[in-house]
Chains A and B, each alone.
Chain A
């Protein structure tokens, strides 16, 4: 037995799984290799909020013992998976990168956590994020800055910046993030990795700290389509503890990838190819379209007429739900409690004032405003109606196309600090991803090139509800023809 650390960290999760099964390596060796890489690069990248090597190595040894005695929990038993710091696993930190939950450890394991554990996957540290997943650059973390492994002056995107950066920097084979308006796809795109936001209801939200309940989904980030498909299948499925969970049988995404891909029709929404797209991204998109054509796909221009309403609609619904979801962090039970409070009401003001960052406060205030009496009909109710129109646009388009092809972001990763003073321009970083959450659809972000300045570029595929298998097939067709082999310098 024995695999070079460098080989391990550069392998896909699936090939590591295979190596484990063929006894070419051990879980201990794999975890040690990635812990070594964390040691090596995380002082620069800053993807992890916390990591407990001792606990991880212990779990790895246990996995190795199971495998030796033929009692492995699944073919993936012993592989590490890094988690965004808002996914609940008992005994693990659950800080949401917020001061208000600074020392909080989860007293329970959520559904996704249980599914990982029962497959033998080893929770591998807690990943940095924008506080409570609110942001697009991970700069809203109260803990630390995460840097883009491709260029440390640039942001990794967000809110799942740690999840994307850690995979890009080979600090873990794969990770889980969460996506409310693009928080998996945008950072995956900025960091040159594959990220999937599943259909709303495919993955249980029990154990996912809520930002906006009707939009949030946990999803996988990996090096390639196959890895993402496998991790998706691990975490998918109906959950009686989440009443918004899809009750019907789901097709396994991995099965879809075992059959030859039938080329189909891809829609190009004209509203997504207007002004404001970086010329290099535009050029890259043309190459992607050309590649699909040459693979036998039909390309068709479509229209999603309510696209321009998506950003305002999103910021009403998401902030409204967030303002209520975040009320529970109040200084009374388990959160940060201010020692300056003069009375009970003041305890709320002081604890929340000290505990929440600027962006969280901004959104809680905005959300409280749109829900307040007299404004509810004009904002929240209307936004819900517009949301239906946006979803109908997509469902109409899917009568003609298998999937929709768009840029993931208008530009490659922006610089750290570039947008922090301008929240509106930060909000527009999610302009191509937000509609997908409003419509509850699956969205896949894939890398497709590197810009002249050395930053990854990519595209987004939007699929039909619960047809992740087909969506990943379409992505796989591109990946097969155009393997993304570039790696950030930091790795060598």
Chain B
């Protein structure tokens, strides 16, 4: 049996985040009363006309800028004609010849050897992305079908990759990377449960080393990450088995059945659609000035992996921390806000954000999820707490309780310390020195290391001394006394 290689291309549909729909001022939204987010234009009433929502174009342009696509100066619209009850006009406005984003690259990260280690990075090329309007939603009952046009007319970006992907994991990593970038830039919420991100996958399989492509199958509307992963995995296996048995794969559209965990051929009764595309005569081509595109470019957040590399290289933060902070744009911006207040100790700040803050959030949320918008703790306040520690006014041990209090009340660290009488006490020098001597006496090896010039070894004595002081000693002072004691200067 030859070894096979899968070749995968994705078409990712992303609902753009806009206040109103793409061609009228009806609001966008999810979970509202059926057909409440409509107006005469959305419903395709006779005599209504589309008017372009510039916000949707700007969101699409921002997508292109994030991933380095080429952005044309003219935007034009075509009609894709087909009858379906979820489409109010029975044609969809889309971009056939001149997509709003040409080319582009998406950096993805595969899972590393362990959770603490960075995985391999790949660059996936985009073919293009084009804008179109979303359709309504049909619900079928035993005898009737109902249609809700709330979703109809929502701006939708269809992102088409080159066939650069070779595994289900890579496909998932691509979706995750797109999601991280688009949520960070506010281009889309990419919530797959709300249908804000949907995916079609084109999969083919060929013997390793073969250059030409084998026939592909297309799986439609994969609407969860697990769905994408399982459907592609299944389809690669299925096609490999077909070839193993000497068969051929037919180019077709297949349906992913998540419950049965398999794909099946979709009835191809309506196989070859002729969409009778033509330029929409109701919408003139729109010229988008270069200056505005440059302005949009300046307003974009740093790319996720660029930021991660910067944190690792210039702030010396470990992967375990950057992978938490950078992959969640709310945490990243929280961290950046803290840094703007106090940037002398990024590591300590990052640790509080990646560990303590996350732990408190998950405890507070119980089974649910506490969004950052619901967190009372404010980033500059956290940074000021870190500074109190660095200044020796608060110890890490004491800070644990202070942090929990800050998280639950949103109060300043200093205020909490004042209220509760928490204070780093300047110890009686004699008592402190006594504890230090006891600690040094208990660990000759480390003491020798310090004498040999390894200053870091002194850290192993700080813990016991702090413990003896019940956390109230000033660690900086402890360190100084320890050094004196070890070097025999006491």
Contact = CB atoms under 8 A, between A and B. Distances in A.
B88 A328 contact: yes
Contact of A107 (B40, B79, B89, B278): B40
Interface stretch (A64-72, A159-167, A239-247, A273-281): A239-247
Contact of A241 (B46, B49, B79, B145): B49
Contacts of B44: 328, 333
A427 interface: no
A214 B88 contact: no
Contacts of B81: 323-324, 327, 371
B47 A214 contact: no
A321 B90 contact: no
B72 interface: no
A461 B47 CA distance: 29
Interface in B348-400: none
Interface stretch (A20-28, A40-48, A203-211): A203-211
Contacts of B274: 372-373
B147 interface: yes
Contacts of B425: none
Contacts of A152: none
A1 interface: no
B45 interface: yes
A373 B276 contact: yes
Contacts of A372: 274, 276
B52 A243 contact: yes
A348 interface: yes
A327 B90 contact: yes
Contacts of B282: 210, 213, 243-244
A88 B40 CA distance: 11
Contacts of A462: none
A372 B278 CA distance: 10
Given A94-B47, A108-B45, A207-B47, A324 B85 contact: no
A380 interface: yes
A161 B207 CA distance: 70
Interface string B116-153: 00000000000000000000000000000101000000
A430 interface: no
Interface in B48-63: 48-52
A477 to B, nearest CB: 36
Interface in B259-279: 274-278
Given A107-B40, A213-B281, A243-B284, A86 B85 contact: no
Nearest to B269: A345
A432 to B, nearest CB: 24
A196 B46 CA distance: 24
A186 to B, nearest CB: 23
Contacts of A414: none
Nearest to A214: B281
A330 B284 contact: no
A96 interface: yes
B51 A240 contact: yes
A86 B85 CA distance: 24
A86 B46 CA distance: 9
Nearest to B145: A344
A207 B40 CA distance: 10
A208 B50 CA distance: 13
A242 B49 contact: yes
Interface of B: 39-40, 43-52, 79, 81, 83, 85, 88-91, 145, 147, 274-278, 281-284
30 contacts: A86-B47, A88-B47, A94-B46, A96-B46, A101-B46, A106-B47, A108-B39, A108-B45, A110-B47, A206-B48, A210-B46, A213-B282, A214-B281, A240-B51, A241-B49, A242-B51, A243-B50, A244-B282, A323-B81, A324-B91, A327-B83, A332-B147, A333-B88, A345-B83, A348-B83, A371-B81, A371-B278, A373-B275, A376-B278, A380-B278
